[in-house]
Amino acid sequence: MAIIHCYACGKRISDKAPVCPYCGEVRSSDPEVRAQAEAMRKQARIGKFNNGAMVALVMVLAGGLMFSVLSSHPEFDWLAKGLMSVGFIGYIGCRAMMLWLKRKGN
């Protein structure tokens, strides 16, 4: 087993690795390996939007909690409503992108 440099990103990888673990570049000409690497890339893209949706959901919950707990302080009302609004829009956007990526097939 030798250590070589990836021709796409230049990082050091094993010569036995069919895919660069850093940039995801496929080193093999085998169609099965290429299909597997593409499936891994698709899952990684969907996972990023899933993480974004969870962050947005936490924003909605934090805004709702702030709205209910600090209801006696009207100066924080705009902050709570803004946090809930941005979180809701972000959640809907992330879920729509996830659905689009799944339907697109890439």
Q: pLDDT, tens digit, for every residue of 74-94? A: 888 889 999 999 999 999 999
Report pTM. 0.68
Burial of 47 (0-12, 13-18, 19+ CB in 10 A): exposed
Average pLDDT of the chain is 87
Question: Which among 28, 48, 46, 50 has a CA at the least distance from the CA of 37?
Answer: 28
Average pLDDT, integer, range 17-37:
80
DSSP character for 105? T
